[in-house]
Homo-oligomer: A and B are copies of this chain.
Amino acid sequence: MASQALPYRPHNHQACVSQALADARAICRAQNARLTPTRERVLELIWQSHKPLGAYDVLAELTAEGQSAAPPTVYRALDFLQQHGLVHRIASLNAFIGCAHAGENHTGMFLICRSCGNVLELKAPGVSGAIEDAAKAEHFKAEDVTLEIAGLCPRCHSESRHD
């Protein structure tokens, strides 16, 4: 069995991208939302790795491809993708990452490696439950959860001990 989650070990990443794009098309079709070429291209760029990408990094790639793009181009596409649950914004990094559980109606929990930069998105029902309980105990109506854990992924952690 694999000891480490996908982002932390070599894998056929093109499969991740293809899957994400296929899911996105299906989700947009189901929601009657228009996954236009720019939006799809931005999603693909975001998915180019498991590291979060800044909006201006996306912009740079678009302009490098010859597209006439400005900041609003990118932010609008990212807003659309977020609203349809296809990407997440990582608040602690001001960056964006492809959603690993698109369409599953989840509360994202992100493990962010400060060494290699890769991010793993978990579902962690136990955590979500504990958060709901804590909010409920204060009579607080939770609507949106930001949960980002910075640290060392298994790979970088084991390497750092072999110095």
A-to-B contact residues, CB < 8 Å: 3-5, 91-92, 109, 111, 113-114, 120, 122, 124, 126-127, 129-131, 133-135, 138-154, 157
Contact = CB atoms under 8 A, between A and B. Distances in A.
A157 B130 contact: no
Chain A interface SS verdict (over half): mixed
Count this chain's copies in the assembly. Answer: 2
B138 A122 contact: yes
B145 A140 contact: no
Contacts of A124: 130-131, 134
A92 B149 contact: no
16 contacts: A91-B92, A109-B131, A111-B135, A111-B140, A120-B138, A124-B130, A126-B130, A130-B130, A138-B154, A139-B153, A141-B151, A141-B152, A142-B150, A143-B152, A144-B150, A147-B147
